[in-house]
Amino acid sequence: MPNCNGLWCRYRAVTSAYYRGAVGAMLVYDITKRQTFDHIPRWLEELRNHADKNIVIILIGNKSDLENQRDVPTEDAKEFAEKEGLFFLETSALEATNVEASFMTVLTEIYNIVNKKNLAADESQGNGNTASLLGQKIIIPGPAQEIPAKRNMCCQS
């Protein structure tokens, strides 16, 4: 077992339960702190070891509003994302730059994967009718909608 320290090992035992059934993941690092980017390969390995093989993953460099404090070049992150087959965006949560785009990127790709699986299932059953896909909704909560919090979460305030 690798050297365990900090949050990594404290929560390692419960992480696999969170990965189960996940269809999308966002790996976020702080562009002003190289150490956060350097930990991404470990989180990616964890995801790939415990999550579904078709999970959609996006690498997000946050705090793009702090360009003058940048410690992780955009090119480094782009190269890593390309090498690992990840989507990539830089965001600013403070300025709400690319935040919605990052969610939409993941959701769109998940939708495309589900759609392809449904089409393949229809074809394998000899049913060329794609009408069974029509009318299905994916509800994306907007700013006015609140996502219900799970009970008994350790990080809940």
Give 42-83 pLDDT, tens digit per residue. 999 989 988 888 899 999 999 999 999 999 999 999 999 999
Domain range list for the chain: 19-123
C-alpha distances in Å from residue 98, one per residue of 81, 115, 120, 123, 143: 17, 25, 33, 37, 15
| Neighbour tally for 36: CB within 10 Å | 17
Against a cut of 0.75, is the pTM above it? no
Spatial separation of the C-alpha atoms in residues 18 and 153, rounded to whole Å: 12
Question: In which band, very low, low, confident or very high, does the pLDDT at 1 lie, cut at 50, 70 and 90?
Answer: very low
Domain 19-123, CATH number (from 1.20.140.10, 3.40.50.300, 3.40.250.10, 3.30.200.20): 3.40.50.300
Quote the percentage of the chain above a pLDDT of 70. 67
Q: Name the residue with higher pLDDT: 10 or 110.
A: 110
